[in-house]
Amino acid sequence: AATRHQEWEISYQFKSPDCVRKLAVTINGETPGPTIRATQGDTVVVRVKNSLLTENVAIHWHGIRQRGTPWADGTEGVTQCPILPGDTFTYAFVVDRPGTYMYHAHYGMQRSAGLNGLIVVAAAPGGPDAEPFRYDGEHDVLLNDWWHKSTYEQAAGLASAPLVWVGEPQSLLINGRGRFVNCSAAGACDAAHPECATPVFAVVPGRTYRFRIASVTSLSALNFEIEGHEMTVVEADGHYVKPFVVKNLNIYSGETYSVLIKADQDPNRNYWLASNVVSREPGTPAGTAVLSYYGGRSSPRRSPPTAPPAGPAWNDTAYRFRQSVATVAHPAHVEPPPPRADRTILLLNTQNKIDAHIKWALNGVSFTLPHTPYLVAMKRPGLLDTFDQRPPPETYAHRGYDVYAVPPNPNATTSDGLYRLRFGSVVDVVLQNANMLAPNKSETHPWHLHGHDFWVLGYGIGRFDPAVHPASYNLRDPILKNTVAVHPYGWTALRFRADNPGVWAFHCHIESHFFMGMGIAFEEGVDRVAPLPPQIMGCGKTRGGH
């Protein structure tokens, strides 16, 4: 196995990803950052220099489990102190599974400022994880949403009373490029800027391509399509899927997919790649790119003769629900889940009010990050007073809770307490969605677990009944994932083995939701964690003599 070295300098730069100039957080001057390419079993070493003038940073390797290196997970407040301006921090970890992953900032709402990119891990040749499918070429597609307001202003608005909501994005980006439609109205808009030139994906007629698709959106659930070309879904979050064919692919923030397409259409015209917002009423035009055939009569720069596809109806939940249920393990790559769980945590997702602030809460508790990272606080003597020692609730109190009604009592508390899991135990988590503070509103939440893949055992719409629904779980061929959607008014059940020593965040991948408290943390086997590298310390009570 090889070691892949990266030297990164993080800095603010003026960028025009959608033709409108904005300060963005960049890696070596670029957003998105470089794609990390490695082979299963390789060690990735990334030396990060924080050259932001006044902001901290931390970088999370999303989908990489960090077995044996929990301090390299890059989650500020959970696994490390942030990297201070001027400081350098080295992440080193093994990529032990093939597949499509991503990285992004995990400090405040910095991910949406542009600090994100792809990780592509090839299967070890001839190994047991070799792909059960064939293709001739490969393209990478990184989907994002983009605002003109600074991330700092967005975060300050979310923390204000009354709340200043971030609103719908101005643009949708594909590989860091988009086009703000009201360019003529915007001041600093340069539609001729090369940074916002439409991306082109070139294909050879008759060949089959693997498109790796990842979403790092801050808010938007997306629907992705390649005009005129059906897609066969073959990978999700680094696991092989029992192939199924779609015209449109729903993809939530934090998810990755691979699809195969055959270049078998008329080569003499171009085709749109398009991303459209679903699950929230859209206020953003489609993100677009162009598919062009080599040897065809159309210049790759020419717009397709059609209008960009508008995607399915944004509120067609049943359609998206069906894709979730269709995503199961490839028959030759089934890893059966343990037949039963040792513990079940039922998490009711609600929107709440604390004083005049709008928050998200789980079982009435809105999450706050501790100032001293859990991993350090739990490994070093005398630091346990740095976070709330009371365990958060295993379920919600109100048994007859009506998930279709506005919360009868919008109050919640805040806490930085965490769930301690018995090492090696099997844990079920059922995420229960509900109505928001406004009537007739419930949106999709993509939940992401650090440090593990989980089996997706089942989905439902309505209130989860622990006496009934577990009987319908898929224990035969459930897919393993690290991010999963909880549909409007619905529930999602997942199972994992708490066998990775460390402290791991589990949260909604919508940047503003996590910022407003939509997350929890798990601890397991922290006594088995090797001595911590001192570089993760230096904040809170880890400063100085500790």
Question: Interface with Cu ion by CB under 5 A: which residues?
Answer: 445, 508, 510, 513
How many residues are there in the chain? 546
For residue 62, the partner it binds in ligand C2O, Cu ion, none, with Cβ less than 5 to 8 A by kind, is ligand C2O
For residue 508, the partner it binds in Cu ion, ligand C2O, none, with Cβ less than 5 to 8 A by kind, is Cu ion
CB of 426 to Cu ion, least distance (A): 26
CB of 289 to ligand C2O, least distance (A): 23
65 part of the interface to ligand C2O, by CB under 6 A:
no
Q: Which of 505, 536, 537, 539 binds ligand C2O (CB under 6 A)?
A: 505
CB neighbour list of residue 184: distance below 8 Å, 6 or more residues apart: none
Q: Which of 65, 448, 452, 513 binds ligand C2O (CB under 6 A)?
A: 448
104 part of the interface to ligand C2O, by CB under 6 A:
yes
Q: Which of 21, 62, 65, 379 binds ligand C2O (CB under 6 A)?
A: 62
> What is the size of the binding site for ligand C2O (CB under 6 A)?
11
Burial grade of 291 (CB within 10 A; 0-12, 13-18, 19 or more): buried
Q: How far is CA 118 from the centre of its chain?
A: 12
Pair 328, 474: CB distance under 8 Å: yes
Between 246 and 485, whose beta carbon lies closer to Cu ion?
A: 485
CB of 60 to ligand C2O, least distance (A): 5
For residue 445, the partner it binds in ligand C2O, Cu ion, none, with Cβ less than 5 to 8 A by kind, is Cu ion
Between 177 and 445, whose beta carbon lies closer to Cu ion?
A: 445
CB of 505 to ligand C2O, least distance (A): 5
Bridge partners for 235 per DSSP: 240, 258
Between 100 and 317, whose beta carbon lies closer to ligand C2O?
A: 100
Nearest in space to 106 (alpha carbons), one of 70, 78, 136:
78
CB of 434 to Cu ion, least distance (A): 12
Between 70 and 108, whose beta carbon lies closer to Cu ion?
A: 108
CB of 362 to ligand C2O, least distance (A): 15
Pair 190, 21: CB distance under 8 Å: yes
For the four alpha carbons of 95, 101, 106 and 110, in that order, the dihedral sign comes to positive
CB of 510 to Cu ion, least distance (A): 4
Q: Which window, 85-93, 289-297, 413-421, 502-510, contacts ligand C2O (CB under 6 A)?
A: 502-510
210 part of the interface to ligand C2O, by CB under 6 A:
no
CB neighbour list of residue 32: distance below 8 Å, 6 or more residues apart: 114, 116, 117, 118, 142, 144, 175, 176, 216
106 part of the interface to ligand C2O, by CB under 6 A:
yes
If DSSP codes are grouped into helix, strand and coil, which group holds residue 323?
helix
212 part of the interface to ligand C2O, by CB under 6 A:
no
Rounded-to-integer distance, Cα 351 and Cα 486, Å: 15
Pair 275, 198: CB distance under 8 Å: no
CB of 447 to Cu ion, least distance (A): 8
SS (H, E, C) 68-123: CCHHHCCCECCCECCECCCCEEEEEEECCCCEEEEEEECCCCHHHHCCEEEEEEEC
CB of 329 to ligand C2O, least distance (A): 22
Between 229 and 513, whose beta carbon lies closer to ligand C2O?
A: 513
For 401, other C-beta atoms within 10 Å of its C-beta total 15
Q: Which of 254, 267, 364, 488 binds ligand C2O (CB under 6 A)?
A: 254
The distance between the two most distant Cα atoms of the chain, rounded to a whole number of Å, is 71
CB of 499 to ligand C2O, least distance (A): 20
Nearest in space to 402 (alpha carbons), one of 431, 432, 357:
432
For residue 497, the partner it binds in Cu ion, ligand C2O, none, with Cβ less than 5 to 8 A by kind, is none
For residue 21, the partner it binds in Cu ion, ligand C2O, none, with Cβ less than 5 to 8 A by kind, is none
Between 111 and 513, whose beta carbon lies closer to Cu ion?
A: 513
For residue 242, the partner it binds in Cu ion, ligand C2O, none, with Cβ less than 5 to 8 A by kind, is none
Bridge partners for 223 per DSSP: 250, 276
509 part of the interface to ligand C2O, by CB under 6 A:
yes
For residue 212, the partner it binds in Cu ion, ligand C2O, none, with Cβ less than 5 to 8 A by kind, is none
SS (H, E, C) 193-246: CHHHCCCEEEECCCCEEEEEEEECCCCCEEEEEECCECEEEEEECCEEEEEEEE
Secondary structure element (H or E) that encloses residue 171, with its range: strand 171-174
Between 246 and 508, whose beta carbon lies closer to Cu ion?
A: 508
Nearest in space to 217 (alpha carbons), one of 272, 318, 147:
147
Q: Give the binding site for ligand C2O (CB under 6 A).
A: 60, 62, 75, 104, 106, 254, 448, 450, 505, 507, 509
